Amino acid sequence: MFQSINPYTGEVIAAYQKLSDEKVSKIIDKTHQSFLYWKTVPFPERSRMMHALADKLLEKKEELALIITAEMGKIITESVAEIEKCAWLCHYYAEHAASMLEDEGMVSDGTVSYVRFDPIGVVYAIMPWNFPFWQVFRFAVPTVMAGNTIVLKHAPNVFGCAKTIEQLFIEAGFPQGILSNLIISVEQSDRVIAHPLVQGVTLTGSQKAGRAVASIAGKHLKKSVMELGGSDPYIVLKDAEINNACKTGMCSRMLNAGQVCISAKRFIVEESIFDDFVDEQKVLLENLVLGDPMRKETEMGPMARPDLLEQIEKQ
């Protein structure tokens, strides 16, 4: 049993029963059948549905933002911005996917030579909780526009977001089975990768998870894409405007309560301005408004899970 727990209040929002292997296999079969149809749908029709999905996101952005904030604690203003970014992405690929996937002519000894981009089938996605809509949409939108279908294993603490995303695709007019959720364990995930109808896997997560997934994908000769984050330096030179440098650095580090793989992790400051930078940064941090992520005045909410907070405190 998986639980979705509000990290600010501790309230249990919902509980989700793990799917049986038999049920998982049926969902994959259905998603494959949807692929056989979806790959034949012309781009104008795909684009129409994707524009409709963008419109649906914007229409419901306040409601959807509440789901994000309740499940993983992101401040409400950031949750709204996340939904708006997803809508922008949908519109972008609705406009440009067809031209991106046009045949590309090439010079060769053949009479006619070209590169053709064909969909591969069912793609399995393992996605994290820190941007529960964006992480899914940035993968799913181009994948679906290219003619593929998706089975999604979202992080257990944001299954409510996952269910909502699946429903949004249906409300926008996409056929059933274009994006299907799998409420499964890590052990079951290995078997999904090995399933003969699953043609590829993508993961956004830790290096440890990436190594494990890539190893299984390699064993079964499945295509794989791993996005494993980073540890980004923030460099401040002596000619920088200190106040702006501090504000930008703080925003980068404190965005989403610091739970962002591309945030500023290491601050490298020229010695001649180091003390001024630290003093200014202290003032900004001391005035950062902490508290209820549902309040628009709040600038930083809780971390997404208690175990994550414990890990930080041990460092």
Please give the positions annotated as active site: 227, 261
Q: How far apart are CA 81 and CA 176, in angstroms?
A: 28
Amino acid at 225: V
The β-bridge partners of 98 are: none
Q: Measure CA 188 to chain center.
A: 21
Q: Helix/strand/coil (H, E, C) string of the chain?
A: CEEEECCCCCCEEEEECCCCHHHHHHHHHHHHHHHHHHCCCCHHHHHHHHHHHHHHHHHCHHHHHHHHHHHHCCCHHHHHHHHHHHHHHHHHHHHHHHHHCCCEECCCCCCCCEECCCCCCEEEEECCCCCCCHHHHHHHHHHHHCCCEEEEECCHHHHHHHHHHHHHHHHCCCCCCCEEECCCCHHHHHHHHHCCCEEEEEEECCHHHHHHHHHHHHHCCCEEEEECCCCEEEEECCCCCHHHHHHHHHHHHHHHHHCCCCCEEEEEECHHHHHHHHHHHHHHHHCCCECCCCCCCCCECCCCCHHHHHHHHHC
Spatial neighbors of 282 by CB under 8 A, at least 6 apart, are none
Cβ atoms of 164 and 181 closer than 8 Å? no
